Amino acid sequence: MITITGKPVCSGIAFGPVFVFSREESTIKRHHIESSDDEIARFESARQQTISELGMLYDKALAEVGEANAMIFQIHQMMLDDLDYIESIKNIITDQLINAETAVAQTCDNFVQMFRAMDDPYMRERSADVKDVSERLIKILSGKDKDGLVTDEPVIIISDDLAPSETVQFDKSKILAFVTEGGSTNSHTSILARMMNIPAMIGAKGVLSADANGKNAIVDGFTGTIYIDPDEATINEMTKKKEEIDKQNKLLQQLKGRESVTKDGQKIELCANIGSVLDVGNVLKNDAEGIGLFRSEFLYLESNDYPSEDVQFAAYKDVLSKMVNKRVIVRTLDIGADKQVDYFNMPKEENPAMGIRAIRICLQRPDIFKTQLRALYRASVFGKLAIMFPMIASEWEIVKILEIIDEVKAELDSEGIAYSKNVELGCMIETPAAAVISDILSKHLDFFSIGTNDLTQYTLAADRQNPDIGKFCDTHHVAILRLINMIVQNAHKNGTWVGICGELGADLELTEAFLAIGVDELSVTPSAILPIRKKVIETNVSEIKESVLDKYLN
């Protein structure tokens, strides 16, 4: 048995034969031409055919993986209309009097090097798109058909890497899993694998030299492991694991589409916490009713400089479009404390958890805050957006935030940029101060989301990053539950709804308590949604309310 590990990009377990996918390398022969006009006409004909093929790929992807993921093929079409790209090819043909295939290859190399040299990881990934588009164009110019998947039975595909067009062209019914030596978690192939719900792993170094073609294998998409020629013990272990997962999937099918409503008719929204755009597929897979916490700081943590308004806009638009009018709550940047970013040039603090972090940075550096708010409001027309502000401790902070938002709206109005007039505004309740004045804060806001991780830390004076704190950081402490109860009561008096987005929200021992208190929403890791929904559906709040409140609040 050969065991190779890599990075998991889509969960699941697959058993089956291996198909090593290799594409015929296009050998480009450089040759002299007599007429640049004729060669440019040949290039233009191939370019139009390529655009047409990409249109067909878009239609196929639209049906299989949805509009947001199919858009990559529209982007590829746009690349073929890019004037810099076209002019480069035409100029090489004209100046060097060489064939179009060579001119496309030279232009491709130049553009790929340019993208790979960029600091932005998203833009670096676009080098693969340029290569994919150019190779398709060269094959059409050369009169060669695009390589495909040739198999009569479902297989585990192993390759060096896969272009988005190759991934979508495959017959989904013939694919058990993807395993690649290269690739990245940000690549379109990884995203498509998640949306197609096919187990996938990348970075499986050595898998192509393992002589695996035709051999049986097991792919564990949870751990990012492939077992080639697995032994009996591994087969039995993975079979049991798959059976357990299948049971969970059966539960998913039973609960999918059902409202999270108790036996006596009390509704609670079950939403998901995400840390990046890549998590949306898992949100939809687990039937979340929305996104209750989108941690926008990933845009800052994964960048070497402040992310531009356009980069942020693209990320927010992507998530809102994929969620199709389900509410998406974006938390404004929460940098500081345990999340440090070098280019922010923050001064060293003795106690960063209580220092300049989150909204305090935004109010001290309004230019950074305004850039994010502009991107958010621009994206708001693509879905149901709500914006949430972290680390609030005083009413004046909310007043100042609302003033800045009014300034941003005025700027957008003056520039003729559309934005939704129905963006809900809320704040995190994660400081004891915010909890105590929640009656005052609720007069300004549409919702609260209780961040129980920090609220517990600050209320109990117990550092949640310290592994030795142990029982001193009691998440079930009566003080925490009393604060949650007080926040809900204060908010409801002013028509403000309340969610919980900290880890406590996924604690099944407290689900009944949250229902009894009257919490309106729980936002948890996607995999926790269905177990909580099961608990909600099985609960009769009127029967347990008195005893539960007595247990946790007294």
Mind listing the pLDDT tens digit for each residue in 332-352? 988 765 556 677 777 777 666
pLDDT at position 301 is 74
Question: Does 47 appear as a known binding residue?
Answer: no
Question: Does 453 appear as a known binding residue?
Answer: yes
CATH 1.10.274.10 maps onto the chain at: 36-142
- Residues annotated as catalytic are 188, 501
Fold of 267-553: TIM Barrel (3.20.20)
SS3 (DSSP) at 379: helix
Mean pLDDT of the chain: 87
Does residue 451 contact residue 506 with C-beta atoms inside 8 Å?
no
CATH 3.20.20.60 maps onto the chain at: 267-553
Does residue 446 contact residue 386 with C-beta atoms inside 8 Å?
yes
Reported as a single tens digit per residue, the pLDDT across 457-479 is: 899 988 765 656 767 878 889 99
| Residue 188 pLDDT level (bands cut at 50, 70, 90) | low
The CA distance from 107 to 90, in Å, is 10
Q: How far is CA 135 from CA 70, 187, 291, 374, in A?
A: 19, 18, 38, 38
Reported as a single tens digit per residue, the pLDDT across 120-174 is: 555 666 777 888 889 889 888 887 755 556 677 899 999 887 776 677 677 777 8
In this structure, the dihedral spanned by the alpha carbons of residues 382, 386, 392 and 396, taken in order and rounded to 10 degrees, is 90
Q: How far is CA 131 from CA 26, 104, 165, 181, in A?
A: 13, 10, 11, 18
CATH 3.50.30.10 maps onto the chain at: 2-23+148-234
Does residue 297 contact residue 335 with C-beta atoms inside 8 Å?
yes
* pLDDT for residue 190 is more than 90: no
For residues 459-491, b (16+ Cβ closer than 10 Å) or e, as one string? Answer: bbebebeeeeeeeebebeeeebbbbbbbbbebb
Both tokens of 280, joined, read 């949306």
The CA distance from 385 to 318, in Å, is 12
Helix (H) or strand (E) holding 201: strand 200-202
pLDDT at position 63 is 66
The CA distance from 6 to 204, in Å, is 4
CATH architecture observed for domain 2-23+148-234: 3-Layer(bba) Sandwich (3.50)
In this structure, the dihedral spanned by the alpha carbons of residues 360, 365, 369 and 370, taken in order and rounded to 10 degrees, is 150
272: closest CA among 295, 247, 249, 298?
A: 295
39: closest CA among 121, 96, 106, 118?
A: 96
Question: Lowest-pLDDT range, 17-21, 260-264, 276-280, 429-433?
Answer: 276-280
**Any bridge partners for residue 159, and if so which?**
180
Other CB atoms within 10 Å distance of the CB of residue 275: 14
pLDDT at position 375 is 96
Question: Does 430 appear as a known binding residue?
Answer: yes
80: closest CA among 53, 116, 109, 118?
A: 53
Read out DSSP for 394-458?
-HHHHHHHHHHHHHHHHHHHHTT----S--EEEEEE-SHHHHHTHHHHTTT-SEEEE-HHHHHHH
| Residue 56 pLDDT level (bands cut at 50, 70, 90) | confident
Question: Does 482 appear as a known binding residue?
Answer: no
Which superfamily is assigned to 36-142 in CATH?
PtsI, HPr-binding domain (1.10.274.10)
